[in-house]
Chain A
Amino acid sequence: MKITRRSLALGGAGLVAGAPLARPALAQNDPIRIGWLAALTGPSSAPAVGFNRGVLFATEAINAAGGVKGRRIEILTRDTQGDPTKAVNATQEMISQLRVHAIWGPTNSGESLAVTAIMARAKMPNIHPCVVDTLIDERRYPNAFRITPSNTQWDDAVRGYCLNRVNARKVAVIGDTTGYGVSAVNASVAGFQRDGAEVVYKANIDATQPDMTPDMLRARNAGAQAIVIWSVSTGMIARMLNTRATMNWDVPFVGHPALSSGEIGSLVERPANWEKVYAIGYRSCSYDAAGNLPPRTADLVRRLQGKVNLQDTLLWWVASAIDAIDLIAKAVDATGSTSNDAIIGNWNSLRNYPGYFGTYSYSPTQHNGFPVEEVVMSAANSARNGAFTLAPGY
């Protein structure tokens, strides 16, 4: 259906098809169109694949229950492959051609930076899971809301865990050479130094570097008591974990959620190499000491049973995508309108909205709605149904 819409528009009639400037006011049975900017293929596509399952599940659930005030939800997906240029094109298409009512995504920081200003110009209600701090600016981008923590919140959680639970005073901070890796390492180093810890080793490693021994040796010789990782490169992380084992060093790894990616499980030489690795996680998607999920999440997992595969993805990806679709639907339900102002206004009024992934609170001056205390560290190798056990110390 998406295909025909597009190719029809182009089949010569494109110039005319998009032409009607003054559309009649929304018909009551007009579907609620949600644009979904997903990096479904290409490198770093794993999160979007997970989010996508949540999107489909939530949409099906809402539509099966009769939609929102009788209006169905229609998802218009565009695969950006994480390429900013493709994301810019797709965003403008959603705004001007597909005339969506809200956009969920994009899912990677580079593309997200490129499209934020474009969405702001169109006042397009946007909710996204990207962590880069500058993406949220209530004054310049009053339309943009974040469903996940910000990078600062991640950073705070990692630093807090290193300083307070691992009791490391000397840390090594390591990232890859991508844009995200470089900026995250710099931010993290600044944070540790501000809090009086000593960053004894800082490096951006080319993710294709075949051997991590020199870097690990340097970190150990400098006296690092924890290694902080900012990278999404599973190959690089696995190599570092294997090197740590070869060196017989039991330093803990703390950092980016990619540390808990399932790919690492297959890349480490021995399962034991994945011990003492703590990745950012979320309270809502973590097992407590007794091995139980919080009741609301447990309920969700039961509902997902048999419909959504959680084995090769993360629960929080699925849960946050469900929340995002729900937030859009609830806003339309509450205001009875799909206008930009109505949706944004509704989101700005949310106080302790109970989602599956988190309890969100937004206001006109705070669009980082994820509560910082719900960011936790989890044991990276403890995945079960896409959720993790809390790291020791909680």
Chain B
Amino acid sequence: MDAMTGTAPPRTRPKVAGPLSPLWPFLLLLAIGLAMPLTGNAYWGLIATRMAVYWVLVAGLNLIVGYAGQLAIGYVALLTIGAYTTSVLAAGNVFPPLPAFAALGAAGVAGAVAGVVVGLPALRLRTFYFAMTTLGFATIVTQITLAWQDVTGGGIGIAGPEMPEPLDTTWGFLYFCLGFAAVCTWLTANIARSRFGRALVAVRDAEVAAEASGIRKPRLLVLVFILAGALAAMAGGLFATLQTYITPDAFTFDLSLLFFIAILIGGRGSILGPLLGTVILTLLPEIAAPLAAWSTFLYAALLLVIVLAMPGGIAALIDPRSRRKLPENRVITPRTAALDALLGQRKVPEPMRLSGIVLAFGGVRAIDGLDLEVAPGQVHGLIGPNGSGKTTTLNVISGYYRPEAGSMAIGTNPLRAGDPEGRATLRIARTFQTPRLIGEASVLENVMIGGTIDGTAGFAEALFALPRHRRDERELEARARLALEAVGLADLAAARADRLQHSELRFMEIARALMLRPAFLMLDEPAAGLSAEEIRRLGALVRGISRHGTGVLLVEHHADLIFDICDQVTVLNLGKVLAAGTPAEIRVHKEVVSAYLGA
């Protein structure tokens, strides 16, 4: 326990893999692409170019499907829009002809707008519904290209834009597309690695925790739809050049499936996986020529097998984190010293007060006139039998439930009912009865999600990895390591969260909550499933947190823990306060003793 004394104990920091590390598979693929001219075989040049073009689209779509988990099946609509915008502008059917690059840029803008339109239903609709609407858009776009003959050439189609020299040859165009694809890989990796990328995954796997961390899903998704739409439309422009001529029947549902399935067999939350998926699916019909007629059948069979037998996709196969052995007999050793660095020097907040809160579910009053005050720097225990309204109270404070009557305030500022995403800015953090985690992400990334709102750099800065974004990331990572240090999980920073034991997950959730440097911290049964020794350490940690000025609201069943560490205790029964006072008072309270403490 010598480390307890030092402020920053020297220890090796396990490096956490980013989406582009290891880098060599990407470089190898790029090198193979760049070496294609050595074959002198334009056929392989074409296939390689096609892979690069498809990847430009898939790279953006990957953020939507692979990261945010939105099942956009009909993304060929964006490819169509981009292909036609570029071709029409380059041909000069509407305005004077534009150079190919300007047309490609315009397609990017059109795609960004269309990306938002296609994506908007995702903000309101459930998964299957959203999938259906994307299919609907794909149909609408095709029908419009057919009908708008003056501009799009209707069924006869339109010639794709010709690239200027020296990009107008097979190899010139291949190099251009490879370069473009490499840039897209870098851009989407930047997003994936940023707080935006982590927030996307959080929305997908732990939506409630994401809200509690202040992540606003609509804003986030719209930003990603803009990016993915722009990339997909520019891929469409390149596709039109590659095909030399486009007609509506080039934009088949099969193509849409290829994009979608490439991501899923590649694996969610990965960039290398979907890249390999794109390469494989583009190549598959070429090597399996006799099976050409069955290619869709093969895609579908592959999808079924992957989902059922290998839900992690290619990424899980090649991810070293899922194989590396975690040390056995690990011990969680919180280091309160790290709390000083993390929570020190903060303004002490004013107390949080709830008065007269009433909430009923279908006639049953879950909370019935609750008054509660959580003071800064204190641990406030909330106990009571099952169904007495403890977790419901936390959910009211967190904004998940909107009470029918009563008021909430911090000091003199009223606390708005509802608005769960707004709690993080007020420095109200919480953990959950069942830990909400992103299993595929590392422990460090899981914790960093807690600090999402403290990022200062915008989406565009993250996209191009500008200095302010890099500073954000450094600060968030340092803070997350500090938080892990504080809860005693520093050694597991690089491990995949789903490989942790249950007790470790509870501490990880506390670390995530600490990222906010919370004024108020609500813990929902943090001791459930912990060993006696772990409960003791948890108690010390919670005390330590409160001694740094945070007001802690602790919902717990372990009476010992409550009486050990709480400054105030409130006992609930049937949504009403049965008793309130110091642990010493509660311990001798008649009704409480007879009802719960059983002594």
Contacts and interface: CB of A to CB of B under 8 A. Distances in A.
Q: Do chains A and B make direct contact within the complex (CB under 8 angstroms)? A: yes
Interface of A: 2-3, 6-7, 10, 14-16, 18-19, 21, 40-42, 78-86, 88-89, 92-93, 95-97, 109-110, 113-114, 116-118, 132, 134, 177-184, 186
A167 to B, nearest CB: 30
Given A95-B42, A179-B157, A110 B250 contact: yes
A14 B44 contact: yes
A41 B47 CA distance: 22
Contacts of A21: 40
Contacts of B486: none
A114 B50 contact: no
Interface stretch (B120-128, B240-248, B573-581): B240-248
Contacts of A96: 41-46
29 contacts: A2-B289, A3-B290, A6-B287, A6-B289, A14-B44, A18-B39, A18-B40, A19-B39, A19-B40, A19-B41, A41-B293, A83-B254, A84-B246, A84-B250, A97-B43, A109-B247, A110-B249, A114-B243, A114-B245, A114-B246, A114-B250, A132-B156, A179-B249, A182-B146, A182-B149, A182-B155, A183-B149, A183-B156, A186-B149
B243 A183 contact: no
A113 B286 CA distance: 21
Interface string B138-172: 00000100110100001111010000000000000
* Residue from B43, B46, B289 whose CB has the most chain A CB atoms within 10 Å: B43
Given A19-B40, A110-B249, A114-B246, A182 B289 contact: no
Listed from nearest, the 8 A-B pairs whose CB atoms lie closest are A179-B155, A18-B41, A96-B43, A41-B293, A183-B155, A84-B250, A110-B249, A96-B42
Nearest to A133: B156
B255 interface: yes
Contact of B293 (A10, A81, A93): A81
A117 B43 CA distance: 15
Given A84-B250, A93-B43, A96-B41, A117 B286 contact: no
A19 B250 CA distance: 31
Contact of B285 (A14, A16, A86): A86
A15 B44 CA distance: 8
A89 B42 contact: no
B157 A110 contact: yes
A318 to B, nearest CB: 22
Contacts of A84: 243, 245-247, 249-250
B292 interface: yes
A184 B155 CA distance: 9
B292 A88 contact: no
B395 interface: no
B268 to A, nearest CB: 26
Contacts of B250: 83-85, 110, 114
Contact of B146 (A6, A86, A177): A177
A95 B40 CA distance: 12
A117 B254 CA distance: 24
Contacts of A6: 286-287, 289
Interface string B25-41: 00000000001001111
Chain B contact residues: helix, strand, loop or mixed: helix
Interface string B221-241: 000000000000000000000
B252 interface: yes
Given A78-B289, A96-B41, A186-B149, 4 more contacts: A10-B286, A15-B39, A179-B146, A182-B146
Contact of B252 (A83, A180, A181): A83
B46 A88 contact: yes
B77 to A, nearest CB: 16
Contacts of A19: 38-41
Interface in B146-203: 146-147, 149, 154-157, 159
Contact of B157 (A2, A83, A95, A113): A113
Contacts of A132: 156
Contact of B159 (A2, A78, A117): A117
A179 B292 contact: no
Contacts of A180: 155
Contact of A178 (B40, B249, B255, B293): B249
Given A7-B287, A84-B250, A183-B155, A79 B41 contact: no
B44 A79 contact: no
A42 B154 CA distance: 22
Nearest to A113: B245
A92 to B, nearest CB: 4
Given A2-B289, A6-B287, A183-B149, A118 B244 contact: yes
A182 B243 contact: no
A92 B45 CA distance: 9
Contacts of A116: 245
* Residue from B42, B44, B147, B245 whose CB has the most chain A CB atoms within 10 Å: B245
A114 B243 CA distance: 6
B245 A117 contact: yes
A179 B247 contact: yes
Given A40-B293, A179-B247, A95 B43 contact: yes
Contacts of A85: 243, 250, 252, 255
A7 B291 CA distance: 12
Contacts of A186: 149, 154
Nearest to B157: A113
Contacts of A15: 35, 38-39, 44
Contacts of B39: 14-16, 18-19
B141 to A, nearest CB: 14
A18 to B, nearest CB: 4
B254 A181 contact: no
A212 B433 CA distance: 61
A6 B285 CA distance: 11
B252 A117 contact: no
A312 B52 CA distance: 43
Interface in B245-280: 245-250, 252, 254-255
Nearest to B244: A117
A41 B250 CA distance: 16
B249 A92 contact: no
* Residue from A84, A95, A132 whose CB has the most chain B CB atoms within 10 Å: A84
Contacts of B254: 83
A118 to B, nearest CB: 6
A85 to B, nearest CB: 6
A93 B41 CA distance: 9
Contacts of A80: 292
B247 A113 contact: yes
Contacts of A42: 293
A139 to B, nearest CB: 15
Contacts of B50: 89
Given A83-B254, A114-B247, A179 B156 contact: yes
A86 B284 CA distance: 12
B446 to A, nearest CB: 41
A116 B245 CA distance: 9
B147 A86 contact: no
A147 B249 CA distance: 24
Contacts of A113: 156-157, 245, 247
A162 to B, nearest CB: 22
A109 to B, nearest CB: 8
Nearest to B155: A179
Contacts of A82: 249
Contacts of A117: 159, 244-245
A347 to B, nearest CB: 23
